[in-house]
Chains A and B, each alone.
Chain A
Amino acid sequence: MIASSAPNLTTTTIPKEYDGHTSIFLPTMATVVDVQPETKTEKIFTLRLPDGENLNHNPGQFVMLSIPGVGEAPFGVMTSPSRTGETFKLCIRNAGDLTSLIHQLKPGDQVGIRGPFGRGFPHDTFVGKDILVAPGGLALAAPALSLIDEILDHRTDYGRLIILYGARNPSELLLKDRLAEWEKRDDVELQVTVDHPDDEWTGNVGVITTLFEHIQINPYKTIAVTIGPPIMYRFVTMELLGKGLTPDQIWMSFERRMKCGVGKCGHCQVNHRYACQEGPSWTYAEALAFEEAL
């Protein structure tokens, strides 16, 4: 009776049929198949949907992960679509009530998954371009890695791949094996910096923007993707604009509070836009059009 003018939206996990009803809030129970400590505060969780169903996500999309009885929160997907088979990975920082309990999960435990949600990075439109990825801190693992691996697995489709990664200190650097792998590759240009070095650190020191001095880019054919806290965006976009990129060549991902993931609960609104639907990835040009973005 209540007509909807637009087609109903669906994802891999919702809406879910149950006993003659369909629910967009009912999570699919996924199984934790592996837990790897990454740093003192981050762990990487490998999850498997029932029957090993593919999550079918785009780089930059997120899932709502829940522990029933505790709560639900959004997490960017770490695995690229190209590497997602029966499982996918999330990198989760122990930063609060829910995440501290997630950190106690063991292989074999179940968690609820809804999604994937949101607009990821439109990587198909990046084909043929040089890609500069500049994540800060946790963002390297999720969601930047989902894009990086997607590019690496279709390497010839893209031009240069430049990765500029900043962390607060060496012990907080994520994915050290991957960093070492990229360091060795000829077709990846990696620069890493830390704000606060320790005695053993021999690399760059300073905030992520200091890395921009070391690189030259072709502003005609570069797409930049930067992901980090609001304060980082202000300085990174200045650097990128200074190198001749236009705001619509710069992509970012916005963190917002999300309660439903389906554009209803209102929490993630950035002005009139729902980060969980039209975001969390937006170009800088789009972000400039709404006052609350930066």
Chain B
Amino acid sequence: MTKPKIAFFDFTSCEGCQLTVVDLLQTHLGLLDLVEIVQFREAMTEKGEDYQIAFIEGSCTRESDEERLYKIREQADLVVALGACAHLGGVNAMKNRWSIENVQTYVYGENGKDNYESYGARPISAVIKVDAAIPGCPIDRFEFLKIVQMVLQGRTPKLPDYPLCVECKLKENGCLNTMGKPCLGPITRAGCNAICPTYGDGCEACRGFAPEANFEYMREILRGHGLSEEDIDARFSMFNHYQLMQMGEDAPLSKPIVEPDAPLPTSTFAAPQEN
């Protein structure tokens, strides 16, 4: 059997998902008997362009990124979105709330705003056809392995379509929502083995929403924690801003998610604003 050639690409991201793959290779070296990696900037300098499977990390945040995505799509038989940014748009899409001019001025200052190209962050599926996604921020290494195996078997990779609570209960974790900690597990797609709640942190929905997410009652639960409507909106949209934008008027939010001219929050990360 000839080994399929795979390649990794990154767009706007922290590269943490690729690092997770590097980590996986430390413990599961056998993976290299199954596939040949021809391009992986995190791990090697060689660059082969004859890949069949492309793993793409990061969201598309510039018009000029699109060309590169088209090229990958043209070469690869199979394109897999790697991690929340590529899969959902992820945290990068939080900026989509404001007009791009507003955001550029905020980040780069009045003088620098035209120096850098940018547009609304989007998942790569908004630009090219994506065959499979490995969700999460970062990805779960075992899910990555499982999906690679499914692809090698000639199967269509499939994600769990139930909420995270299933995995939490199987591990017999105490429910954070009943212990005073907000957790988005009930509306989030499972598959990470509930890693955050297991260590006491509420789920932030980095894997995207479960297909039957009950937003209305999730809001009710979060109100019970004393969260304001705005806080709840913020939690819902942290990783899923792009998805909520796509839902338009049906988005389960207390107010519109796009406010082009709203004031941007004060932050030490903002560029100093000249008067």
Q: Are A and B close enough to touch in the complex, i.e. CB under 8 Å? A: yes
Cα distance, A99 to B154, chains bound together (Å): 11
Of A69, A70, A97, A100, most buried by chain B (CB within 10 Å of CB) is: A97
B199 to chain A, nearest CB (A): 32
- B153's closest neighbor in chain A, by CB? A70
| A100 with B153: CB separation less than 8 A | no
From 148 to 172 in chain B, residues with beta carbon under 8 angstroms from any chain A beta carbon are 153-156, 158
Give the chain B neighbours of A104 by CB distance below 8 A.
154
Q: Which positions 91-117 of chain A face chain B at CB distance < 8 Å?
A: 97, 100-101, 104
- Cα A70 to Cα B154 in complex, Å, equals 10
In which size bucket is the chain B interface?
under 10
Inter-chain CA distance A148–B114, complex, in Å, is: 77
List A contacts of B153 (CB < 8 A): 69-70, 101
Q: Report the bound CA distance from A100 to B153 in whole Å.
A: 11
Size bracket of the A interface: under 10
Q: Chain A residue with minimal CB distance to B149?
A: A69
Q: Which of A157-172 contact B (CB under 8 A)?
A: none
The residue on B at minimum CB distance from A104 is B154
User: Smallest CB–CB gap between B168 and chain A, Å?
Assistant: 22
Q: What residue in chain B is nearest A70 (Cβ atoms)? A: B153
What's the least CB distance linking A117 to chain B, in Å?
Answer: 25
Given the complex, which residues of B lie within 8 Å of A101, measured CB to CB? 153-155
Give CA–CA (A97, B150) in the complex, Å.
10
Contacts of A69 in B (CB 8 A): 153
Chain A residues within 8 Å of B154, by CB: 100-101, 104
B50 CB, nearest partner CB in chain A, Å = 25
Q: Considering the chains assembled together, what is the distance between the CA atoms of A211 and B153 in angstroms? A: 44
Per-residue 0/1 for B33-51: is the Cβ within 8 Å of any A Cβ (1 yes, 0 no)?
Answer: 0000000000000000000
How far apart sit A132 and B156, CA to CA, in the bound complex (Å)? Answer: 40
Give chain A residues whose Cβ lies under 8 Å from the Cβ of B158. Answer: 97
Interface residues of A in 52-78 (CB under 8 A from B): 69-70
Q: What distance in Å separates the Cβ of A90 from its nearest Cβ neighbour in chain B?
A: 20
Among residues of A, the one whose C-beta sits closest to the C-beta of B158 is: A97
The residue among B153, B154, B155, B158 with the most chain A CB atoms within 10 A of its own CB is B155
CB distance from A147 to the nearest CB of B (A): 34
> When each residue 220-242 of chain A gets 1 if its CB lies under 8 Å from chain B and 0 otherwise, what string results?
00000000000000000000000
Neighbouring A residues of B156 by C-beta, 8 Å? 97
Distance, CA A69 to CA B153, complexed state (A): 9
Which residues of B from 49 to 87 have beta carbons under 8 Å from A? Answer: none
| Chain B 158-198 interface 0/1 with A at a Cβ cutoff of 8 Å (1 = within) | 10000000000000000000000000000000000000000
The smallest C-beta distance from B263 to any residue of chain A, in angstroms, reads 50
Bound-complex Cα distance A101 to B153 (A): 8
Chain B residues with CB below 8 A from A70, complex form: 153, 155
Measured CB to CB, the closest approach of chain A to B1, in angstroms, equals: 14
| Docked complex Cα distance between A104 and B156 (Å) | 15
Q: Which residues on B sit within 8 Å (CB–CB) of A100? A: 154-155
Question: How many whole Å from A156's CB to the nearest CB in chain B?
Answer: 49
Q: Return the chain B residue nearest A69 by Cβ.
A: B153
| Residues 222-270 of A at the B interface (beta carbon under 8 Å) | none
| Cα-based distance from A101 to B155 in the complex (angstroms) | 8
Instruction: List B residues at the A interface (Cβ < 8 Å).
Output: 153-156, 158
Question: What are 12 of the A-B contact pairs (CB < 8 Å)?
Answer: A69-B153, A70-B153, A70-B155, A97-B155, A97-B156, A97-B158, A100-B154, A100-B155, A101-B153, A101-B154, A101-B155, A104-B154
- Seen from chain A, the residues whose Cβ lies within 8 Å of a Cβ on chain B are 69-70, 97, 100-101, 104
**Further 9 A-B residue pairs, CB within 8 A, beyond A97-B156, A101-B153, A101-B154:** A69-B153, A70-B153, A70-B155, A97-B155, A97-B158, A100-B154, A100-B155, A101-B155, A104-B154
Q: Give the top 10 A-B pairs by smallest Cβ distance, nearest first.
A: A97-B155, A97-B156, A101-B154, A70-B153, A70-B155, A69-B153, A101-B155, A101-B153, A104-B154, A100-B154
